[in-house]
Amino acid sequence: MTATPAAPHLREDLLTPRFYTTEIEKAARTSLHHQRPAFEAMLAEMQADYNRDHFDRRVPLDRLRDLSAEEKEAYESYLVRSCVSEFSGFLLFKELSRRLKQASRPELSELFQLMARDEARHAGFLNRALVAEGIMIDLPSLSTKRPITWFPLSWVLYSVYLSEKIGYWRYILIDRHLKANPGNNFAPLFDFFEPWCQDENRHGDIFNMLIRCWPQLRRGLRGKLLSRFFLWSVFLTHSLTVCERGNFYKILGMDPNLFDAEVMRQTNRTASRAFPWVFDLETSDFVDLRDRIVATFRQMKQAGGLQKLGLKLRFASLLLRQVSQPMRATEAGAQEATA
């Protein structure tokens, strides 16, 4: 087993996990005045560290049964992408914590430090599962080789909220499926998903609170555009990842398309507590367009020349139709409008 400077199974495309930074000086101006009770409650919950003993490094994470070469690649690809995503969250939260401390915001700094702690545990646990597969990733080295993407603070607040909540629904739905179908549980890693997902849920609630600290982010046209763009972009990335790379879910005995649709529905419902607008997934063509987008994406990878150009145009047209699907106002938005 040898260490590799780059992560195997991590193709460079629009689905590849990224490393991020943001307007940290602006983040330091976050006012907790109207959210003080929620902030204190969340900080206390994070300090309690309910999962302190959950990620036991002594627990073996070797697979319980053999997989075919194709299945093994799908499982390892899932581990690599998940590990890099968690490590990306750790780096963002760690940098925010460090810089907020320098800006004399110790309470906010501690909150981000505690979230960084959770992300580091998640990445470390996934890395241990990769070591059990004979793969070693030098995460600190990887972070110096991949580009850092800068996002405005509003983008980070919306996108991280959604990534944490969609992560919760991914973990909990896999956990429920495997408890109902224990014969499909081929790795001990999955036994840790139920408490693990509560970290994701808490982080999402923290970012909901942070969004409320900037009420202008949920008002008027700006709130509607932010809701539309980030719900759509997160759902699109999830659909392409799950449906176009669905072999991992098939090993678990899950239908990738049905799993993706349920994750979107549940995340959309959860987001209605935070965002002023969410997609109307039940009566619109959003999910049907998902199927056509995924099919076209697959065709694009196999085509060349003029055929590929035509498919790219079709892909862009489908994306435009999907992002333009109807939305509905939420109670969270109504409360903000009357505040």
Residue 7 and residue 145: Cα distance in Å, rounded? 11
| Per-residue confidence (pLDDT) for residue 57, from 0 to 100 | 84
| Per-residue confidence (pLDDT) for residue 188, from 0 to 100 | 93
Beta-carbon-side half-sphere exposure of residue 321 (alpha carbons within 13 Å): 16
Contacts with 239 (C-beta within 8 Å, 6 or more apart), sequence order: 260, 264, 290, 293, 294
What's the sign of the alpha-carbon dihedral 88, 239, 155, 208? Answer: negative
What's the sign of the alpha-carbon dihedral 39, 41, 43, 46? Answer: negative
**CA 148 to chain centroid:** 17
Question: For residue 145, what is the enclosing H or E element?
Answer: helix 139-145
Express the helix, strand and coil content of the chain in percent, nearest 5 each: 70, 5, 25
pTM recorded for the entire structure: 0.92
Single-letter code of the amino acid located at 225: L
Residue 97 and residue 13: Cα distance in Å, rounded? 30
Q: Which residues pair with 277 in a beta bridge?
A: 329
Token pair, residue 16, equals 């590849």
Residue 97 contacts residue 119 (beta carbons within 8 Å): no
DSSP strand pairing (136-137 vs 3-4): parallel
Residue of 164, 173, 167 whose CA lies nearest to 209:
164
| Per-residue confidence (pLDDT) for residue 15, from 0 to 100 | 45
Query: Judging by beta carbons within 10 Å of its beta carbon (0-12, 13-18, 19+), is residue 12 exposed, middle or buried?
Result: exposed
Single-letter code of the amino acid located at 63: R
Per residue of the chain (339 residues), give pLDDT as tens.
Answer: 434 445 555 554 544 667 889 999 999 999 999 999 999 999 999 999 998 888 888 889 999 999 999 999 999 999 999 999 999 999 999 999 999 999 999 999 999 999 999 999 999 999 999 999 999 888 888 777 777 889 999 999 999 999 999 999 999 999 999 999 999 999 999 999 998 899 999 999 999 999 999 999 999 999 999 999 999 999 999 999 998 779 999 999 999 999 999 999 999 999 999 999 999 999 999 999 999 999 999 999 888 889 999 999 999 999 999 999 999 999 876 666 555
What's the sign of the alpha-carbon dihedral 197, 200, 204, 210? Answer: positive
Q: What is the CA radius of gyration of the chain?
A: 20
Residue 121 and residue 56: Cα distance in Å, rounded? 10
Token pair, residue 62, equals 């070797």
Q: Which residues pair with 3 in a beta bridge?
A: 136
Phi, psi angles (nearest 5°) of residue 137 = -115, 125
| Per-residue confidence (pLDDT) for residue 10, from 0 to 100 | 54
